[in-house]
Amino acid sequence: MAPKRRTRKADAMSAGAPLETEPLHDAPASPAQAEPSGMPAGDSNVAEVLAAQKGARRRPRDAPADDAAEDGQQQRKRRGRIGNMAGEASASTRDNQGLSAVEPAEDMLTDSLDGDRSSGEMLMECVVKIFCTHSEPNFSLPWQRKRQYSSTSSGFITDGKRILTNAHCVDHHTQVKVRRRGSDMKYVAQVLAVGTECDIAMLTVEDPAFWLGVEPVKFGVLPRLQDSVTVIGFPIGGDTMSVTSGVVSRIEVTSYVHGAAELLAIQIDAAINSGNSGGPAFNSKGECVGIAFQSLKHEDAENIGYVIPTPVMEHFINDYERNGQYTAFPALGIEWQKMESPFMRTALGMQAEQKGVLIRRVEPTAPVSKSLKKGDILLSFDSVGIANDGTVPFRSGERISFNYLVSKKYTNEEVRQKKRKEKTMPFGINLMRSQGL
C-alpha cells in the first residue's frame, strides 16, 4: 500500500507549529511596483533624455553663431520626444495602477466574459438537487420494511418536462423532492420510470412553477478519447453546486454496479463523489454527453469515475416513449468464452479464416434456446463478425465487446446471427429481457 501524501498544512498541524497562511493580495509585484525608486515606471527613460538634453545645451564658447538656430531646432525635437515619452510613461503608470487607458477594449472584454458567464449559467440552471427518502424491504421480516433514511443526489432537466437521474438515487423511494439552483423551494416529484440495469431514473414535477425560465439540456454525440468534460452536481462537502472537469480516459463496455449489467460506459478523470450521482457531464460545446453514476475506489487507483453515455440514455428514453413504460435492455441469454487458442479452434474444426466465440451455456427460457445449444460457435451478430476475443469493430482504431451490439437493440426485436456446429448456418432470434438484479 502506497504511503498517504501529506500536505504542508497537515505536517504543520502534526508538528504543533502555527499554520502559515498567505494573504490573497500578496501577488507577484507588477513592473510598476518593482521599480526601486519613487519614479513611476518608464520615467527612467525620461531622465536619460533630460540628461542628454542638458549635456547638449553645453556648447563650447568658440562654437559658430550659425549653429544656434540648428541647436534650437534640435532642442525642440528633443522636447517633443520627451513629451511623447512622458505621455507613454503616464499611460503605463495608469495601466499598472488598474486604470485602463483604452475604455472600449475593456468594454469588449467585459461583454465577452458576460457572454461566457451567461452560457455557463444556463447549463447550471438545468441541474437540480434531489432529496429522497428511502425505505428498503426487509427480506428477513417480509411483513415490514426497514427504517427510513434520507439521501441527496443530482439530476438535470431534459425535454418534455422530465428530469433524469440515477436509479440508485431513488431506489425504494417513499418521497422524492427536487430543488433548483438558487431556489429555497422544494417541489414534490413523481417517478415515471426506473431502469435498474442501466442505472437511470426519470422524474417529473406537476407544479408548473418549477419549469418557469428553464431550458432543457441538449444531448451530444459520444465523445472521443482526451475530449474535455465538465461534471456538475451537488456532492458531499457542501450544500451548493460543485463543478469539476477532466478528460475522457476510456470508452468500453463496463459492469454497472447497481444492476449487475454490462453496458457501454465512459471513464473520466474528473472527481466524482457521493452526491454527484445523477449529475450531467458536458462537453466543450455545452452538450450533455453522460450521467455521472459510479467511481472506482481502490488503493492503487486515483481519479477514476464513470458516466453513462448518450447512447444508453437515448435507449432508455426511446424505450419509455415507445412502450409507455421501461421494458429493460435486451440480452441473448447465453454464456460464452473466448477462442484465442489455435489448438481449441483446430479441435472444434474451425477453418483458418473463421472467428467466433464458444457457447458454454444457454438459458432454457431464452428465445435463443431454440436455435443455439451448448458447444455451438457464434460467428456473427446482426451481420457483424465476432472476433476470437469476443470483440467487434467500434470506431476508427477501436474495438469493443459484441455485447454492445446486443444492448443497442430492443426487447422482442429480431436479429440475424450466424453459428457453426457441423456446418455454418444463419438464423434469426428474438431478444429476451435482461435479467439484471
Q: How far apart are CA 151 and CA 157, in angstroms?
A: 20
Active site residue 434: no
Q: How far apart are CA 52 and CA 152, in angstroms?
A: 74
* Phi, psi values for residue 44, rounded to 5°: -65, -35
For residue 93, how far is the Cα from the chain centroid? Answer: 43
Beta-carbon count within 10 A of 374 CB: 11
Q: What pairs with residue 317 in β-bridges?
A: none
The one catalytic residue among 168, 173, 258, 315: 168
Active site residue 168: yes
Amino acid at 419: K
Residue length, the chain? 437
Q: How far apart are CA 402 and CA 139, in angstroms?
A: 36
* Phi, psi values for residue 312, rounded to 5°: -70, -40
Helix, strand, coil shares of the chain as percentages rounded to 5? Answer: 25, 30, 45
Radius of gyration of the chain (CA): 35
Active site residue 173: no
3-state secondary structure 24-88: CCCCCCCCCCCCCCCCCCCHHHHHHHHHHHHHHHCCCCCCCCCHHHHHHHHHHHHHHHHHHHHHH
Three-state secondary-structure class, residue 117: helix
Work out whether strand 330-331 and strand 280-282 pair parallel, antiparallel, or are unpaired. unpaired
Q: How far apart are CA 313 and CA 55, in angstroms?
A: 81
H or E element that contains 317: helix 310-323
Q: How far apart are CA 291 and CA 141, in angstroms?
A: 35
The one catalytic residue among 43, 134, 173, 199: 199
State the catalytic residues. 168, 199, 277
